[in-house]
Chain A
């Protein structure tokens, strides 16, 4: 049986395959055979490395050499030099873009430093249903340190110094939030974990709760000690059953081990956590609405102030933080604020978890240092746009965010830059769009979501967004006027200025950012009655080219609404009145005679 001494991993991702990586595999096989090494060295095609810019990639194991931009004709040299003589092929090594040095060991490549897992440090590594695995990975060491060595002010100062900001979207400094809550005195205070993740396409918080629930429990206990609260509540949507199940197990285990309950670590500090289930209303991610929902009232926001830190759950001082924010806390306590605040940009410290979705090759959950550019995320981690299409936009921040375009590709991602670019960090959904996305329809999609999810308490959000949606609907139907575009902008501005809560105030962002970045596309919809992405059905016409049509009748037979007519062997025609633009005819036509005008 073959026991291979060496492995050659060749990238078989879409990009590298297009650059002949299968030919590289063939040539490597050939060279190995020539040298009689086919039983010692195994060549294998792998999934995408994500580093498509420098593809095709060949990685040699076990010595971890990383060759970039390899061509099929380089195969013989890799075998003759590296495999046989043990000398690395220098010219194919990755060159560090900064100091121009060749990097021999992949571990030292900046490429591996694009992603840094802090909040996700245990996610995918430990068994989330076994507290001992968490403990053996330094779990509960931070709360032990806090309770045995630190005063509550020291904990708050450490978090302040770390520069950690709320990962739920707003980016409020966490340490400052804790400090305010600590200074408000009451017989009972509360710590609340906001696990009401609601942005379309976002699943960071669910992943953390499902993969590392103890980190959130530990962090909430630290939070409780810091502000003087003995009760914690996790508000989680009932549509996350596995996350709930694992949290229940984790809370049970923590109690069993004495890590929740009375007199934790013999310090005299008591803390316990309960779960509260939400029904999945988007607005309940807003902290005042969340608190009302936990109290058994309607999930509607109220005006701030008073802030929850002054009067929150049951009118007691309450600190609300998001799941990902909490996941950062234990490691900050263990490694220190000065470690954490060296990562990231000047005003946004640490990392951010993003759910990378849409028209991108490596859809996935990523964690990157603040300050990384969109280009790095899309092309060096995400593996580029699907099917080699052109990049058009990235939506961040969900229904409260906006679209970033080509011109933002090299902007460092942090809270303030995203706001300056007309979007926001949001909770971390990142939806990548290619040239088949119609930006007017995208804006309409997010507005539909907001209209559906608006709690209806304040008029600007309840009525204003409905009107915005109607205007967008009118434009995508081909009935828009230039005055409508003005009205969109004015109304959006009014909603932004007058809505009650953060959700209402940010709800016009998808409209405003697409107006700013894709004005031409709006004008095309209005003036030329044209949708360049081919998404708005009312603006499309299916036309049969009478010269190319041979009258095979395939289209007519497959039209679900009988909109196509014509004699056999004679050119057919489509009745626009009946056509529902489903595209079934185009799929069936073997002669490319049907096109969209």
Chain B
């Protein structure tokens, strides 16, 4: 990695990363499914690591292309572990109380068919718009 030495470097890197993500999204004709697992201490204590591994292994086994990432706390402590799934061109949906059974349901029903499953946590906040 070359070091960032100027504002121009930073902007170039930022554009580069965003482009990479874009190309990946467009490269796949069905678009890209994003799965985020909330993995702060509390999420992990509630079993988020197992869920992360489950998505990792099962998506591979079942031949589904997903972008899986860990994130920090999503704020829904009452419903850990929580997983956010974004289907192409759809609003993100957050599922709470995810165990491996629920994760299986999410893959089979929501990711494959766009069919919602129970356990949705309605998002009720705004995030400050970035520049």
Segment from A47-55, A167-175, A583-591 that makes contact with B = A47-55
In the bound complex, residues from chain A placing their C-beta under 8 Å from that of B121 are 46-47
Residue from the list B1, B79, B120, B122 in contact with A257, Cβ < 8 A: B1
Contact with B along A396-434 (1 / 0, CB 8 A): 000000000000000000000000000000000000000
Bound Cα distance A144, B122 (Å)? 36
Pair B74/A124 contact, Cβ less than 8 Å: yes
B23 located at the interface, meaning its Cβ lies under 8 Å from any Cβ of chain A in the complex: no
A466 located at the interface, meaning its Cβ lies under 8 Å from any Cβ of chain B in the complex: no
Interface residues of A in 468-520 (CB under 8 A from B): none
Segment from A110-118, A158-166, A530-538 that makes contact with B = A110-118
A103 located at the interface, meaning its Cβ lies under 8 Å from any Cβ of chain B in the complex: no
Bound Cα distance A55, B14 (Å)? 43
In the bound complex, residues from chain B placing their C-beta under 8 Å from that of A391 are none
A96 located at the interface, meaning its Cβ lies under 8 Å from any Cβ of chain B in the complex: no
Pair B41/A210 contact, Cβ less than 8 Å: yes
Closest to B129 in A: A335
In the bound complex, residues from chain A placing their C-beta under 8 Å from that of B124 are 49-51, 111-112, 114-115, 381
Interface residues of A in 38-70 (CB under 8 A from B): 42, 44-51, 59, 61-62
B64 located at the interface, meaning its Cβ lies under 8 Å from any Cβ of chain A in the complex: no
In the bound complex, residues from chain B placing their C-beta under 8 Å from that of A62 are 90-91
In the bound complex, residues from chain A placing their C-beta under 8 Å from that of B69 are 126-127, 130, 133
Closest to B17 in A: A136
Bound Cα distance A45, B96 (Å)? 13
Q: From residue A42, how far is it (CB to closest CB) to chain B in Å? A: 6
A295 located at the interface, meaning its Cβ lies under 8 Å from any Cβ of chain B in the complex: no
Interface residues of A in 182-220 (CB under 8 A from B): 203, 206-208, 210-212
Q: How large is the interface on A (under 10, 10 to 19, 20 to 34, 35 or more residues)?
A: 35 or more
Q: How large is the interface on B (under 10, 10 to 19, 20 to 34, 35 or more residues)?
A: 35 or more
Q: From residue A535, how far is it (CB to closest CB) to chain B in Å? A: 24
Pair A203/B42 contact, Cβ less than 8 Å: yes
Closest to B40 in A: A210
Interface residues of B in 29-54 (CB under 8 A from A): 36, 38, 40-42, 44
Bound Cα distance A243, B125 (Å)? 25
In the bound complex, residues from chain B placing their C-beta under 8 Å from that of A148 are 6-7
Interface residues of A in 119-172 (CB under 8 A from B): 120-130, 132-133, 135-138, 140-141, 144-145, 148
Q: From residue A150, how far is it (CB to closest CB) to chain B in Å? A: 12
In the bound complex, residues from chain A placing their C-beta under 8 Å from that of B96 are 47
B115 located at the interface, meaning its Cβ lies under 8 Å from any Cβ of chain A in the complex: yes
Closest to A43 in B: B116
Pair A266/B40 contact, Cβ less than 8 Å: no
Residue from the list A121, A125, A135, A256 in contact with B17, Cβ < 8 A: A135
In the bound complex, residues from chain B placing their C-beta under 8 Å from that of A265 are 4-7, 10
Pair B17/A242 contact, Cβ less than 8 Å: no
Quick one: given A363-B77, A364-B77, A364-B78, are A207 and B72 in contact (CB under 8 Å)? yes
Closest to B120 in A: A46
Pair B70/A127 contact, Cβ less than 8 Å: yes
In the bound complex, residues from chain A placing their C-beta under 8 Å from that of B91 are 61-62
Pair A9/B120 contact, Cβ less than 8 Å: yes
Pair B73/A257 contact, Cβ less than 8 Å: no
Bound Cα distance A363, B131 (Å)? 31
Closest to B112 in A: A1
Pair A258/B41 contact, Cβ less than 8 Å: no
Quick one: given A113-B126, A121-B128, A206-B41, are A364 and B18 in contact (CB under 8 Å)? no
Residue from the list A122, A130, A266, A357 in contact with B6, Cβ < 8 A: A266
Pair B115/A4 contact, Cβ less than 8 Å: yes
In the bound complex, residues from chain B placing their C-beta under 8 Å from that of A121 are 127-128, 130
In the bound complex, residues from chain A placing their C-beta under 8 Å from that of B74 are 123-124
Quick one: given A121-B128, A135-B13, A240-B41, are A127 and B75 in contact (CB under 8 Å)? no
Pair A45/B40 contact, Cβ less than 8 Å: no
A176 located at the interface, meaning its Cβ lies under 8 Å from any Cβ of chain B in the complex: no
Pair A211/B116 contact, Cβ less than 8 Å: no
Pair A9/B122 contact, Cβ less than 8 Å: yes
A-B contact pairs, 21 of them (CB 8 A): A3-B113, A12-B118, A45-B118, A47-B120, A48-B122, A112-B125, A116-B128, A117-B127, A121-B128, A124-B36, A124-B72, A138-B130, A141-B10, A203-B42, A211-B73, A257-B1, A257-B3, A259-B4, A265-B5, A265-B7, A366-B75
Binding site for A on B (CB under 8 A): 1, 3-7, 10, 13-14, 17-18, 21, 36, 38, 40-42, 44, 69-79, 84, 90-91, 96, 113-122, 124-128, 130-131
Extra pairs beyond A116-B127, A206-B40, A256-B1 (13, CB < 8 Å): A12-B118, A42-B116, A47-B122, A112-B124, A117-B128, A121-B128, A126-B72, A130-B69, A135-B17, A136-B21, A212-B72, A257-B4, A364-B78
